[in-house]
Amino acid sequence: TEALTFLGIESSCDDTAAAVVRAWPDRAEVLASVVAGQVALHAPYGGVVPEIAARAHAEKLDTCVEAALAEAGLALADLDGIAVTAGPGLIGGVMSGVMCARGLAAGSGVPLVGVNHLAGHALTPRLTDALAFPYLILLVSGGHCQFLIARGPESFQRLGGTIDDAPGEAFDKTAKLLGLAQPGGPSVEAEALAGNPKAFPFPRPLLDRPGCDMSFSGLKTALLRARDAEVAAHGGLYRQTRADLCAAFQQAVADVLAEKTRRALKAYLAEAPEVPALAVAGGVAANRQIRSSLEAVCAEAGVRFTAPPLKLCTDNAAMIAFAGIERFRAGTATAADLVARPRWPL
């Protein structure tokens, strides 16, 4: 039956992205996806600088959109809609994206749909694996960490999440403390391969408390103390000690995520979904140890496990185009969604 083709635009953090997605009621295809990162721009500052991000988005949006349309072999007039991230995120970047999308829509007469960035992440398993509602999703990235039951394109129930840092942020800080390269996730993971996860007894925060809330800032403090103690005792960090610190840290994060996933699954399965499924999305889902421990938890519970390909897990515009199509089909998009906002809970 009828396919819808949308352009998606994303600029809420430090990636400028444009994509074209075509979706049928039962499947979808990414026709083009362009992501221009800003890692090099922010690297000297040790974090994303909002003003620099906003300027870079404003400069790169047009070329990203042109590149995505060219890759898809389409013109603006061929589109059924344009979807743009309207929040949550760094307001300057979000505004750049919304202004760009408004201009394109006004010039072409194509309908415009505002999309929640988190809904984009949370709906990605439907883009890649056509998961049926309701499914459980764990979003784990540098900025997010939460369990959601996805019931519909606009309907998400939050079961719990981090009360402080996101795991990706903790990986990044760990890398910084140990003198490893950013982004920290991949470098800590690589270093951990040579380490002993039992070498340091790091805490498993909040496991003693019921529910699905998590905390990762205590883990970071424990790591800092352990590093300082090692430096004080030996005048520096041995290569092996650094690997052990990484392995113990990564094991602690994996253990917390696995146990909280067990609990989230329990709440989700109580609703007797027809085809129970857990999807994990976000940059941290790239971590092989975390991924395999989540897979084991799902196997144990008889639940299907899916993880979208990494390039659709990290920030991208294909998820925004697809979420726009889902909203458009549901007929729930409103003009108020097109107001750029820094906060926008699901």
List all residues 6 or more positions away from 257 whose beta carbon is below 8 Å from its beta carbon: 138, 140, 167, 214, 290, 293, 294
Near ligand KG4 by CB under 6 A: residue from 5, 116, 241, 287 = 287
Name the residue number minimizing CB distance to ligand KG4: 185
315 near Zn ion, rule: CB under 5 A: yes
Q: Are 33 and 19 in contact (CB under 8 A)?
A: yes
Q: Given the complex with Zn ion, which of 265 and 280 has the nearer CB atom? A: 280
Q: Residue 335: which of 109, 86, 88, 165 has the closest Cα?
A: 86
Q: Given the complex with ligand KG4, which of 105 and 323 has the nearer CB atom? A: 323
Min dist. Cβ of residue 311 to Zn ion (A): 13
172 near Zn ion, rule: CB under 5 A: no
- Give the residue numbers of the binding site for substrate: 139-143, 172, 185, 189, 287
List all residues 6 or more positions away from 251 whose beta carbon is below 8 Å from its beta carbon: 197, 198, 202, 289
Strands 4-10, 81-87: pairing kind? parallel
SS3 state of residue 273:
coil
15 near Zn ion, rule: CB under 5 A: no
Q: Given the complex with ligand KG4, which of 181 and 296 has the nearer CB atom? A: 181
Site mask, ligand KG4, residues 126-165, x = CB under 6 A? ---------------xxx----------------------
* Longest CA–CA separation in the chain, Å: 69
Length of the chain: 346
Strands 27-37, 4-10: pairing kind? unpaired
With CB under 5 A as the contact rule, which of the stretches 153-161, 284-292, 307-315, 323-331 interacts with Zn ion?
307-315
- Give the residue numbers of the binding site for Fe cation: 117, 121, 315
In degrees, to the nearest 5, what angle opens at C-alpha 160 toward C-alphas 154 and 163? 120
Min dist. Cβ of residue 140 to Zn ion (A): 11
CA pair distance 180, 173, nearest whole angstrom: 10
Min dist. Cβ of residue 185 to Zn ion (A): 14
4 binds, among Zn ion, ligand KG4, none (CB under 5 to 8 A by kind): none
Residues that bind ligand KG4 (CB under 6 A): 13, 141-143, 168-169, 171-172, 183-186, 189, 282-284, 286-287, 314-315
